[in-house]
Chain A
């Protein structure tokens, strides 16, 4: 998709694989089995968390990204 000119943000709990492929907009999500959720939170809190992730992803779509970095909700690793 990137090669065809579509910017992609990959949200994943295992960013090393995405980096290996050469992606520049990799966003670390919550956990492997629950990437945009958190079973410890209430439904409402979870939705708020998910919204933050989606907004962060949209934000990253507007940047050039960095293939050497993994981005997080609050910044980068």
Chain B
């Protein structure tokens, strides 16, 4: 039996929780009473319907580096607030934040049996990972329409909580189709009552398809990821050429190829001997990647691109050869298609030189 005013708990990361930027991404959980940051808009949207009784804040790195543990920890911290609804984010296109929102929402929904709703953009890795477990409202990549997004999240929550007599579903759940309520499909088949028989609906669809009209499938076929791993290296490493690749955005100071810190589209090949010699200077580099705190890598780029170790191993004969070029790109909110394309372009270079294997370092 729910009270008149909903008790809402809101999850945000360190940035939206006003604790700091990437420099605070390692912070542990903090619970604040009342709304913080976008939670204030959220409370306005709720109006008389509810209050944000608490805000759960956590650093994106602390969460992302041990997702399951953090999700459990976060869920445990809000028990005392007795929430009726849990909202996370929205995370837009921020990958670590999206995964945190998905994971903590899932943990809360499982532990407390309350609606747990988040929001993110389609390309956010959190969508694929959590859409089956959590209602994820579709947002744009930018935070521009955050108020609209929060409103959509609240509407979905209200729908779920209502005892909607108009529900078409056999189970009488008060939830609309993904396209109607603006959330990502969960891959769940639900039976509805309808006026037309399946035969009639099938013919309608076929006629629409043949006539070039609009039709909506009732059962979309799942898209499989059928990536077959490349075969392992057979010959001894001492006869192999190994290449270093990274999507951490390490570039020369002037960023001559114009790599973007977010939504990047380019890659570049840098000759390792000149780009990252053993006697490097930190002043000679930039990080074209706004998704992580760059200080450590700028201090010593080998922490991202282990040229120092690879040279040692080459000298010692552990590997045959370190591929002379380092392939650099930046993978922060980079469109998936372009990532694939960049990979195929880099492959041409690897093929020319007879590279045997690749070490790809990410954040």
Contacts and interface: CB of A to CB of B under 8 A. Distances in A.
Interface of A: 1-14, 16-18, 20-25, 29, 31-37, 39, 46-47, 50-51, 53-55, 57-58, 61-65, 67
Interface string B202-214: 0000000000000
A50 B306 contact: yes
B325 interface: no
A17 B237 CA distance: 28
Interface of B: 22, 25-26, 60-61, 64-65, 67, 95-96, 99, 125, 128-129, 225-234, 237, 242, 245, 248, 292-297, 300, 302-304, 306, 308-310, 312-313, 318-319, 343-344, 346-347, 350-351, 355-363
Q: Which of B128, B233, B242, B357 has the most chain A CB within a 10 Å cutoff?
A: B357
21 contacts: A1-B245, A1-B343, A3-B227, A4-B350, A4-B351, A7-B231, A12-B361, A13-B64, A13-B362, A20-B225, A22-B227, A23-B227, A33-B297, A34-B303, A35-B362, A37-B297, A50-B303, A50-B306, A50-B309, A51-B313, A61-B357
Contact of A51 (B26, B233, B309): B309
Contacts of B363: 12-14, 32-33, 35
Contacts of A32: 25, 60-61, 64-65, 96, 292-293, 363
B303 A10 contact: no
A9 B308 contact: no
A66 to B, nearest CB: 9
A55 B312 CA distance: 11
A34 B296 contact: yes
A14 B99 CA distance: 10
A35 B295 CA distance: 12
B264 to A, nearest CB: 16
Contacts of A17: 95, 99, 125
